[in-house]
């Protein structure tokens, strides 16, 4: 396994999420990375700086116009969090649940441009559409500015304290993976992260007219204690997948995304692999410890395999166990979407004995806890 078209994609500049960052955040990121940007990626950085600068006045207007309302907003319905490692079915589950009109969610546009979506969505959306591919770079799943997206992108647009930045600065990825589980972070970093997270949740609550938000963010799998401190009545869905396939699919994801987003020559594939294995391990050790803090009735755990096999049955179980309204009124729309998604081509993986040995040696505890055979 190797990086996909690393050299060929050097001059592809429009796929970087940094273009939606605030200018101050981009400067902070450059300082954190000691301005170490490889010469070959300067066009990508210049594009991000230009787009961010162009949008700066609009962000300021959005902030002046709406921040008072945002800060005064009370969250009456704590979010519904979808947890699970990357490539475990979180996107499919998020997309289905967002069909329920009772739920609010971050769209791709709102996640990538969190600084101006209240006041300037109609103006900027047509300008963003050409930079969004029709399919995700790593698979056959549809992408669109209006489809649900991880709020981690919104966090990363406003603060350096996000794991997403590790894809853009892969030589310094170790710095940013700390923000998956929020371990070994300073008090200042933690306070800023919580303030930014609460701000974007309140902002989306304003946009959604007070609806309960359904949020999908794999990094939150290792942040349960923090989330409960902020949203004590939050509800959680944890979706898990056979670790062998998570390993293979996550490596494919990283090999595909890094060439489109990096501003530095990536580390070796071996180093990227070691880091991914370590993050999975840290995330799930923390999840297994902290899930006990979730009040009874506010957590349901499902497997990707069961969900794919019978999505509608699994959805009904989720609504029932978490006591959510809206299943009956949304059932027809759920079924239509599920029929449409059945046409999506799934990548087939071959699991070699060397992969099985490596994955099980590192993640044996997860096989046991999640109920998968070696």
Task: Name the one residue in this structure whose structure tokens are 């803090």.
Answer: 293
* Mean pLDDT for all residues in the chain: 95
pLDDT at 82 over 80: yes
Length of the chain: 374
pLDDT at 227 over 90: yes
Number of neighbours of residue 340 by Cβ within 10 angstroms: 10
pLDDT at 344 over 80: no
Q: Report pLDDT for 144.
A: 85
Q: Report pLDDT for 22.
A: 97
DSSP 268: P
How far is Cα 269 from Cα 172, in angstroms, rounded to an integer?
Answer: 15
CB 266, CB 258: distance < 8 Å: yes
Closest CA relative to residue 93, chosen from 358, 362, 371, 317: 317
pLDDT at 121 over 80: yes
Q: In the predicted model, what is the mean pLDDT of residues 66-89?
A: 97
How far is Cα 315 from Cα 198, in angstroms, rounded to an integer?
Answer: 28
How far is Cα 191 from Cα 154, in angstroms, rounded to an integer?
Answer: 17
Q: Where are the domains of the chain?
A: 17-346
Q: Say whether domain 17-346 belongs to CATH 3.40.50.300.
A: yes
Q: Report pLDDT for 140.
A: 61
DSSP-assigned states of every residue in 335-348: HHHHHHHTTSPPPP
Task: Name the one residue in this structure whose structure tokens are 């997206």.
Answer: 149
Q: In the predicted model, what is the mean pLDDT of residues 43-47?
A: 97
End-to-end C-alpha distance for the chain, whole angstroms: 23
How far is Cα 114 from Cα 151, in angstroms, rounded to an integer?
Answer: 9
pLDDT at 136 over 80: no
Q: Quote the tokens at residue 274.
A: 């070691």
Cβ-Cβ contacts under 8 Å for 356 (sequence gap 6 or more)? 244, 374
CB 124, CB 113: distance < 8 Å: yes
Name the band, by pLDDT with cuts 50, 70 and 90, for residue 137.
Answer: low
Name the band, by pLDDT with cuts 50, 70 and 90, for residue 130.
Answer: confident
Q: In the predicted model, what is the mean pLDDT of residues 98-112?
A: 97
Q: In the predicted model, what is the mean pLDDT of residues 183-197?
A: 96
pLDDT in tens, 3-35: 999 999 999 999 999 999 999 999 999 999 999
């Amino acid at each position: 396994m190797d990086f996909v078209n690393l050299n060929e994609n050097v001059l592809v500049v429009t796929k970087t999420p940094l273009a939606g960052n605030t200018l101050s955040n981009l400067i902070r990121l450059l300082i954190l990375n000691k301005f170490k940007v490889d010469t070959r990626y300067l066009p990508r950085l210049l594009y991000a700086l230009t787009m961010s600068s162009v949008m700066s006045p609009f962000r300021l207007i959005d902030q002046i116009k709406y921040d008072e309302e945002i800060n005064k907003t009370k969250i009456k319905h704590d979010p519904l969090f979808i947890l699970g490692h990357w490539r475990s079915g979180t996107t499919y589950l998020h997309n289905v649940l967002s069909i329920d009109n009772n739920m609010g969610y971050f769209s791709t546009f709102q996640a990538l441009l969190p600084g101006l979506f209240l006041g300037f969505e109609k103006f900027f959306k047509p300008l963003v559409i050409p930079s969004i591919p029709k399919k995700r770079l790593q698979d056959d799943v549809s992408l669109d500015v209006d489809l649900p997206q991880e709020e981690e992108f919104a966090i990363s647009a406003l603060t350096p304290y996000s794991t997403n930045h590790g894809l853009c600065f892969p030589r310094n990825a170790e710095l940013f993976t700390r923000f998956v589980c929020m371990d070994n972070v300073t008090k200042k970093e933690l306070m800023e992260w919580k303030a930014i997270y609460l701000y974007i949740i309140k902002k989306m609550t304003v946009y959604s007219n007070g609806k309960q938000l359904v949020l999908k963010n794999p990094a939150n799998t290792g942040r349960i204690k923090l989330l409960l401190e902020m949203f004590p009545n939050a509800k959680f869905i944890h979706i898990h997948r056979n670790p062998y396939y998570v390993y293979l699919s996550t490596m494919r994801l990283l090999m595909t995304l890094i060439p489109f987003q990096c501003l530095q020559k990536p580390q070796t594939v071996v180093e990227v692999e070691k880091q991914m294995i370590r993050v999975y391990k840290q995330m799930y050790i923390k999840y297994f410890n902290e899930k006990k803090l979730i009040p009874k009735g506010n957590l349901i755990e499902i497997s990707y395999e069961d969900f794919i096999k019978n999505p509608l049955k699994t959805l009904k179980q989720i609504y029932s166990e978490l006591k959510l309204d809206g299943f009956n009124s949304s059932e027809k729309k759920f079924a239509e979407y599920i029929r449409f998604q059945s046409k999506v081509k799934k990548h087939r993986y071959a699991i070699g004995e060397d992969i099985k040995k490596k994955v099980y040696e590192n993640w044996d505890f997860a096989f046991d806890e999640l109920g998968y055979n070696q």
